[in-house]
């Protein structure tokens, strides 16, 4: 053409976005934002009492093969009473997002995990996860897809935004991207290569909070990890709370509500629900019990023994807490970081 394109001609000229790289990892959950909208539309917006036991919530809302997520992680504000219940009911073939310490370790230790969108599974200061090693090296976990920690949080954010992907500058140039389900494109605005991470919509999210009302309006103290994003990325959401408060308490400080009720399907009262992990301003982690798990997790036999004693051997969370006794649990309150004297 011997003249420059007019603005309108330029607008209709089809430009194609160049895909520079596609990760070989399996996309475990499709980023189907239209189906997610339909799901959310159908969800009850009624502000009703959703309190129930861990047993009922797991039975009603988590099915074998479901894709689940937990927040924050094993030793910090983690829904351990719900994780224990999943192990107790033996919900199999789970697909999980993680970023996890004790909670994913126990699901792996109980051989309940089939596929992982993996960012980090380890024991932090105590080193590698024995359960992850056994389950992945033996092939019992069939699929492992790699991501970075922020990568998974961003994937939740995309789902929370209701969009199918989010552009980020992490993971580029690495095997982490190659073994993920991300794509790299040439950004149509700047021309720079940019990673596109697919939205991650969870079948079920599990989040432990400081306080919630009976309808599920939930507040978290301290750092919020990725709770806001994960709550909004979940089709079904189970909240456990240290304390159930009157809705009036929520209404007095609505600015503190990180998860509004309409996202929530079940509310469980679970004092010391993060045990043996910590809950900031409330109780410290139970180092002795964490070490017990680290030790027990070293072989399949001792792992089974631990799960028998602390999960299968008790009927519910209260019976679990009774194994430790009030004095020990009260003692953990003293060591809580940031707790007012």
Smallest gap, in angstroms, from Cβ of residue 158 to another protein? 11
Candidate residues 57, 110, 136, 233; the one interacting with another protein per rule CB under 8 A: 136
Interacting residue with another protein among 122, 162, 164, 260 (CB under 8 A): 122
Interface characters, 53-72, with another protein (x: CB under 8 A): -------------------x
Nearest-approach distance from CB 52 to another protein, in angstroms: 28
90 phi-psi bin (left φ>0, alpha ψ -120 to 50, beta other): left
Q: Residue 224: which residues within 8 A CB-CB, separation 6 or more?
A: 258
**Backbone φ and ψ of 50, nearest 5°:** -115, 20
The CA distance from 262 to 109, in Å, is: 34
User: Which residue in 80, 113, 115, 118 binds another protein (CB under 8 A)?
Assistant: 118
Name the token pair of 226: 């990725």
Maximal CA-CA distance, the chain:
87
Tell me: does residue 236 bind another protein (CB under 8 A). no
Cα angle value 279/131/122 (rounded, 5°): 50
The residue (of 91 and 278) whose beta carbon lies closer to another protein is: 278
Q: Which is nearer to another protein, 139 or 341 (CB)?
A: 139
CA angle 69/136/54 to nearest 5° reads 30
Where on the chain is the footprint of another protein (CB under 8 A)? 72-73, 75-77, 99, 101, 118-122, 124-125, 128-129, 132-133, 136-137, 139, 144, 146-151, 153-154, 157, 168-176, 179, 184, 192-195, 222-229, 278, 280-281, 284-285, 287, 336-338
């Amino acid at each position: 053409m011997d003249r420059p394109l007019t603005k309108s001609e330029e607008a209709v000229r089809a430009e194609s976005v160049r895909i520079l790289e596609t990760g070989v990892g399996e996309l475990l959950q499709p980023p189907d934002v239209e189906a997610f909208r339909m799901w959310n539309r159908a969800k009850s917006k009624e502000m009703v009492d959703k309190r129930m036991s861990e047993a009922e919530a797991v039975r009603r809302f988590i099915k074998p093969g479901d894709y689940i997520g937990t927040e924050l992680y094993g030793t910090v504000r983690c829904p351990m009473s719900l994780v224990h219940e999943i192990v107790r009911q033996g919900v199999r073939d789970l697909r999980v997002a993680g970023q996890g310490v004790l909670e994913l370790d126990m699901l792996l230790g109980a051989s309940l995990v089939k596929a992982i969108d993996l960012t980090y599974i380890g024991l932090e200061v105590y080193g590698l996860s024995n359960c992850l090693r056994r389950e992945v090296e033996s092939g019992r976990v069939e699929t492992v897809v790699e991501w970075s920690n922020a990568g998974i949080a961003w994937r939740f954010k995309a789902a929370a935004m209701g969009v199918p992907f989010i552009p980020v500058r992490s993971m580029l140039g690495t095997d982490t991207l190659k073994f993920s389900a991300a794509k790299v494109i040439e950004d149509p605005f700047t021309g720079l290569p940019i990673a596109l991470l697919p939205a991650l919509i969870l079948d079920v999210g599990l989040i432990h909070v400081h306080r919630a009302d009976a309808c599920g309006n939930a507040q978290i103290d301290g750092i919020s990890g990725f709770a806001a994003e994960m709550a909004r990325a979940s089709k079904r959401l189970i909240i456990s709370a240290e304390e159930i408060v009157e809705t009036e308490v929520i209404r007095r400080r609505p600015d503190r509500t990180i998860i509004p009720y309409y996202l929530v399907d079940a509310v469980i009262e679970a004092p010391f629900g993060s045990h043996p992990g910590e809950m900031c301003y409330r109780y410290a982690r139970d180092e002795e019990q964490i070490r017990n798990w680290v030790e027990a997790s070293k072989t399949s036999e001792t792992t089974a023994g631990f799960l028998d004693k602390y999960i299968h051997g008790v009927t519910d969370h209260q019976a679990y807490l009774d194994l430790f006794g009030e004095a020990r649990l009260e003692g953990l309150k003293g060591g809580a970081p940031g707790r007012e004297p």
